[in-house]
């Protein structure tokens, strides 16, 4: 089964700011993700409606059409892959060949994404290659303890946090955890920040549980 991809050239999300954002059909999401149909912010009404249209094929197009759109973005463009959906591949596995096509289309741009597919050896190999080729793929943790476990992979890392998380905290090993500035300050957006596209960051980026299902999301934090 192939996925459907959609590119919104200018996001209207207040926290994201006016950058391109993509959406991938729902079957790309791994069932192992603890937020899958259980607190995922993308299940909120407005994004849910858009995601449903992408998932049923009535909005968006093929991988080839999508990568052509990414390739044509102006050089240096900051863009977020997957405001909803995950990296290509069914169930838990990343389709390395499809990911490489996205990575190649991103050359000269500043794409970033946060997949929830598990860090299996094959998936880690695909993620490392994407990062090495300039596409920032951050591992996604389900809380502070899980983030500490994922630190051993030495890859960019983000984590979900409680909705009232402080601006700054540390993992057990002392690694800083910086709560997304756009969730705390009205004058900061992804467009003005860009830290998630930086692979060499020495800290974990934390995202407080949000959306209309944030209470359910908090219930699965580890």
CA distance 40 to 219: 12
| pLDDT band of 98, cuts 50, 70, 90 | very high
Q: How many domains does the chain have?
A: 1
For residue 120, is pLDDT > 60? yes
Write out pLDDT tens, residues 63-91: 999 999 999 999 999 999 999 999 999 99
CB contact at 8 A, 189 and 180? no
Write out pLDDT tens, residues 166-214: 999 999 999 999 999 999 999 999 999 999 999 999 999 999 986 655 5
Q: What is the pTM of this model?
A: 0.94
Write out pLDDT tens, residues 15-40: 999 999 999 999 999 999 999 888 88
Mean pLDDT across the chain, nearest whole number? 94
CA distance 194 to 110: 9
CA 110, 111, 115, 118: dihedral to nearest 10 degrees? -60
| pLDDT band of 215, cuts 50, 70, 90 | low
Range of the domain at 59: 5-218
CB contact at 8 A, 70 and 19? no
Give the residue carrying structure tokens 């597919």: 117
Nearest in space to 40 (alpha carbons), one of 157, 215, 158:
215
Give the residue carrying structure tokens 């919104």: 8
């Amino acid at each position: 089964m192939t996925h459907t991809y959609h590119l919104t050239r200018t996001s209207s999300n207040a926290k994201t700011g006016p950058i391109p954002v993509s959406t991938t059909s729902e079957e790309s999401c791994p069932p192992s993700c603890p937020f899958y149909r259980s607190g995922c912010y993308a299940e909120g009404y407005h994004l849910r409606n858009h995601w449903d249209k992408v998932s049923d094929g009535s909005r968006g197009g093929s991988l080839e059409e999508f990568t052509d759109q990414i390739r044509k973005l102006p050089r240096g463009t900051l863009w977020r892959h997957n405001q909803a959906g995950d990296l290509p591949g069914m169930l838990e596995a990343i389709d390395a060949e499809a990911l490489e096509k996205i990575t190649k289309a991103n050359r000269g741009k500043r794409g970033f994404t946060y997949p929830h597919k598990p860090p299996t050896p094959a998936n880690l190999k695909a993620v490392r290659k994407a990062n090495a080729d300039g596409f920032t793929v951050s591992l996604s943790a389900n809380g502070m303890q899980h983030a500490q476990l994922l630190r051993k992979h030495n890859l960019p890392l983000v984590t979900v946090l409680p909705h009232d998380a402080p601006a700054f905290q540390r993992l057990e090993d002392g690694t800083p955890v910086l709560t997304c500035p756009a969730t705390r300050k009205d004058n900061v957006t992804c467009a003005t920040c860009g830290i998630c596209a930086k692979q060499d960051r020495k800290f974990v980026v934390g995202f407080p549980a949000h959306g209309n299902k944030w209470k359910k999301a908090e219930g699965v934090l580890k």
